[in-house]
Every structure is written in structure tokens, then in C-alpha cells.
């Protein structure tokens, strides 16, 4: 009975607080146009920033004919194929590291890497707005975790000085582009601070890979850092990459260490080799800088129009362009009015974002047209004026 009550009460609280989450079931492939509930929507909430999620179907079919559907086992048993191996090398080359190691998802990469590296007695310092998987990894590690104020290097330095002279190692962890705010951490300064304090720096570039840096090579290249400056690099294949999976890039020793000790690498089935094979095509397409120019044009267009209409923009130069609404209720109402107009923009509410910081998370893609963004701006501006 106690269990039933706990579950029931938690559900009721979620509903009462306008925090109920539900899934929308798509009837079409991912893209800027999606079908849902028999209606077509222009999609402004995908992380498919370059429009690559719907490409590569010929490569995937060919890869499936060669490799089948399943990998059959974990990498350390008999699930590691040449397709995985080649993709790891290609990802290492692309991001500029000696080696890379594939994980099934970014969530698992973050949990596995942090919990393998940090131990009881160590200190993990994380940006307040880091992704949930980074926080979960720290909990699993049993190290002490402190969170510094969002992108506040002064606060990070304070926490580090208090720590001076303690035993144990220090790991500094940050998103590059923050998933719900769209702003970019100053990774170059984080690298300086890490070096000064002999801390290890880990950057989760889930939203930066494919978006920043020449050819989309990500945060390390964007900031002109060496691999020693940024020794632990996380990239994911589910966002700009348009696929599924993730990887860690780093030194030979780091990768060997993770193969030995990262439990979310060891105790799980390898991703389907056909998928790994097909990701090579997306990697080649992703290097085309004209995709990023198109994306950049849409971002500027959106920001200019939103500013002209007095919409509550946040300081982001990335394809993540949230509008800060405040109350969860109001964010939901705006989201549903946009849906009635055939525009899909998700309302992001606590606990994904802090209390009273509910927002519409608009995401833009290189595959959006200027007309798509104009339509979004005009509907948003109408809704905003009548709501406030």
C-alpha cells in the first residue's frame, strides 16, 4: 500500500504543479516537418541541428545487409566489430585526439567516464547547469561533488582554493554549449584554471560537436586548445550528428583505462555495427561548412526578429534559442498555442530547469527555411502580445 500511495502522490503532485510530462508519438521520420496526431508540424524542438537525421538511409541499408541488426555482445566479449573500430578512429581524427571510444549513448558515456575516473576522496566540480548525466556520474563515483554558479569561473576558483592542500584528485566538468540555455562555457579559461590547480578537465560537447569549430570539430578546435588542455572530451552522435551513440576522445592511456574500468562501457551490448558503419556517412556530411553557414543565418534571423518583437531571448549564439517565460503554466499555454498554428516548440519546465525558469526551447536547424523561421516569429509575436 505504501508503494502505491507514494507513486500515486508523486503523479498527483506532478499534475498539480503543471509539470506533467508526456510523449508525443511521431508518425514520420525526424525532420523539420513531422507528422503527429494526423497533423503536420514544423519542428522547432529537435537537436538535429544540421538536418542529418534523415540522411544516410542508403548507407544504413547497405550496412545492415553486411552487418545485420545486432552486435550480439558487449565490446569486450565479441561485440566489437571493424565498423566500430573504424568509426572510433574517424571520430578521433575528426576531433583531433589520439583515440576515441564508442559508448551506446551520451548518458552512458558521462556516467561511465566520471565514475571510472573519480573515486572516494576526490573532488568533482561541476557547473550548476551541467547535464543530468554528468551529475549522476558524479554520484556514482562516490567522490565529493560541488557545483559552481553557472559559467562563474570566480566561484570555481573559490571552491578550488578552499580545497588547496587536500588529498585526492580534482575533476572539473562542464557542458560546452548548455542544453537548456544555449550559451557556451569559456572552455579556454576552464583549461587555464584546471592547469593551475592540476585538475583534470572534462568537457561534454553534446551540443558543440558539428556546430562550433572549423568543420564542426567541436569545442577543442573552436577554442584552439591542445588535447593536453582538454584531456577528456565527450561527443554525442544523437544531435548534430543525426544518429545515435556517443564517444569519449582522449589519450591512449585514458581510453585504455576506460576500457578496463568504465562500467557503462563494459557491461552493456555494443551499438549495432550497421549503425556505427552508417555514421561514417554522417561524419563526412557534417564537415561541410555550408551547413553551419545556413544554420548561422537562421539563428541570426531568429534573434533579430525576436528582439524586434520584444520576445524574452536568452544570451545564446547557438541553435538553442530559449525564450524565458517563467511560469510553467504560461510556458505550456504558449506551447499549445504554437501547436495549434502547426508549430512544435516544447515547453521545458522544472526540474529540467530551475524553479520559475520555465521556457520555450526553440531549436533551429540548417534544414529550416527562412520562411519557416519567419512563420515562427510571426506566430510567437502574436501569442506573446496577447499573453502578456
Ligand X SMILES: *Cc1c(COP(=O)(O)O)cnc(C)c1O
Give the residues lining the site for ligand X (CB under 6 A). 105-107, 110, 131, 133, 175, 179, 204, 206-207, 236, 238, 246
Residue 300 C-beta-side C-alpha neighbours within 13 Å = 6
The angle at the Cα of 311, spanning 314 to 49, to the nearest 5 degrees, equals 55
> How are beta strands 99-103 and 246-250 bridged, if at all?
antiparallel
177 backbone dihedrals φ, ψ, rounded to 5°: -90, 125
Complex with ligand X: residue 236 or 363, whichever CB lies closer: 236
Write down the least CB distance from residue 244 to ligand X, Å: 7
Write down the least CB distance from residue 238 to ligand X, Å: 4
Spatial neighbors of 296 by CB under 8 A, at least 6 apart, are none
Write down the least CB distance from residue 325 to ligand X, Å: 21
Are 145 and 138 a contacting pair, CB within 8 Å? Answer: yes
Which among 109, 102, 168, 114 is positioned nearest to 138, based on CA atoms? 114
Cα–Cα distance measured from residue 132 to residue 105, given in angstroms and rounded to the nearest whole number: 13
Write down the least CB distance from residue 290 to ligand X, Å: 25
Element (H, E) at 249: strand 246-250
Please list the alpha-helical segments (H only) found in the chain.
2-16, 57-67, 82-95, 106-117, 132-141, 153-163, 187-196, 219-222, 252-261, 263-266, 273-286, 289-308, 328-340, 370-387
Complex with ligand X: residue 243 or 383, whichever CB lies closer: 243
Complex with ligand X: residue 183 or 204, whichever CB lies closer: 204
211 backbone dihedrals φ, ψ, rounded to 5°: -110, -45
State yes or no: cis peptide before 89, omega within 30 of 0: no
Complex with ligand X: residue 232 or 377, whichever CB lies closer: 232
Q: What is the CA radius of gyration of the chain?
A: 21
Write down the least CB distance from residue 360 to ligand X, Å: 17
> How are beta strands 123-127 and 358-363 bridged, if at all?
unpaired
Write down the least CB distance from residue 291 to ligand X, Å: 20
Complex with ligand X: residue 102 or 358, whichever CB lies closer: 102
Write down the least CB distance from residue 178 to ligand X, Å: 7
Write down the least CB distance from residue 198 to ligand X, Å: 26
Write down the least CB distance from residue 74 to ligand X, Å: 18
Distance, CA of 331 to chain centre: 22
Element (H, E) at 127: strand 123-127
Complex with ligand X: residue 236 or 335, whichever CB lies closer: 236
Cα–Cα distance measured from residue 361 to residue 342, given in angstroms and rounded to the nearest whole number: 16
Complex with ligand X: residue 143 or 246, whichever CB lies closer: 246
Determine the residue with CB nearest ligand X: 106
Complex with ligand X: residue 88 or 204, whichever CB lies closer: 204
Write down the least CB distance from residue 170 to ligand X, Å: 21
Complex with ligand X: residue 48 or 204, whichever CB lies closer: 204
Complex with ligand X: residue 83 or 108, whichever CB lies closer: 108
Amino acid at each position: 500500500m505504501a508503494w502505491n500511495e507514494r507513486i500515486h502522490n508523486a503523479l498527483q503532485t506532478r499534475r498539480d504543479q503543471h509539470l506533467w510530462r508526456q510523449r508525443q508519438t511521431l508518425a514520420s521520420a525526424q525532420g523539420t516537418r513531422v507528422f503527429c496526431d494526423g497533423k503536420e508540424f514544423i519542428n522547432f524542438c529537435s537537436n538535429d541541428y544540421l538536418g542529418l537525421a534523415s540522411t544516410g538511409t542508403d548507407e544504413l541499408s547497405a550496412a545492415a545487409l553486411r552487418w545485420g541488426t545486432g552486435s550480439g555482445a558487449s565490446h569486450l566479449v565479441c561485440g566489437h566489430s571493424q565498423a566500430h573500430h573504424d568509426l572510433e578512429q574517424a571520430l578521433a581524427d575528426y576531433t583531433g585526439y589520439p583515440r576515441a571510444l564508442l559508448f551506446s549513448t551520451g548518458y552512458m558515456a558521462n556516467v561511465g567516464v566520471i565514475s571510472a575516473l573519480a573515486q572516494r576522496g576526490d573532488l568533482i566540480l561541476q557547473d550548476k547547469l551541467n547535464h543530468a548525466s554528468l551529475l549522476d556520474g558524479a554520484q556514482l563515483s562516490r567522490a565529493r561533488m560541488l557545483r559552481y554558479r553557472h559559467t562563474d569561473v570566480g566561484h570555481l576558483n573559490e571552491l578550488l582554493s578552499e580545497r588547496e592542500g587536500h588529498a585526492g584528485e580534482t575533476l572539473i566538468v562542464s557542458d560546452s554549449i548548455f542544453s537548456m540555455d544555449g550559451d557556451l562555457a569559456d572552455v579556454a579559461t576552464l583549461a587555464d584554471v584546471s592547469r593551475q590547480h592540476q585538475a583534470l578537465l572534462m568537457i561534454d560537447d553534446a551540443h558543440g560537436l558539428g556546430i562550433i569549430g572549423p568543420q564542426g570539430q567541436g569545442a577543442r578546435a573552436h577554442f584552439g586548445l591542445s588535447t593536453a588542455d582538454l584531456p577528456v572530451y565527450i561527443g554525442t552522435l544523437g544531435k548534430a550528428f543525426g544518429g545515435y551513440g556517443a564517444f569519449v576522445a582522449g589519450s591512449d592511456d585514458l581510453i585504455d583505462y576506460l576500457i578496463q574500468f568504465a562500467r557503462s562501457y563494459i557491461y552493456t551490448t555494443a551499438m549495432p555495427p550497421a549503425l556505427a558503419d552508417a555514421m561514417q556517412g554522417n561524419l563526412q556530411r557534417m564537415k561541410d561548412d555550408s551547413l553551419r553557414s545556413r544554420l548561422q543565418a537562421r539563428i541570426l534571423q531568429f534573434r533579430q526578429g525576436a528582439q524586434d518583437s520584444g520576445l524574452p531571448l536568452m544570451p545564446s549564439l547557438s541553435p538553442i534559442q530559449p525564450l524565458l517565460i517563467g511560469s510553467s503554466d504560461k510556458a505550456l499555454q504558449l506551447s499549445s498555442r504554437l501547436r495549434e498554428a502547426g508549430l512544435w516548440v516544447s515547453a521545458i519546465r522544472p526540474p529540467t530547469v530551475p524553479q520559475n525558469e520555465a521556457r520555450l526551447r526553440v531549436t533551429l536547424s540548417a534544414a529550416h527555411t527562412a520562411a519557416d523561421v519567419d512563420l515562427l516569429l510571426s506566430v510567437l509575436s502574436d501569442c506573446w502580445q496577447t499573453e502578456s
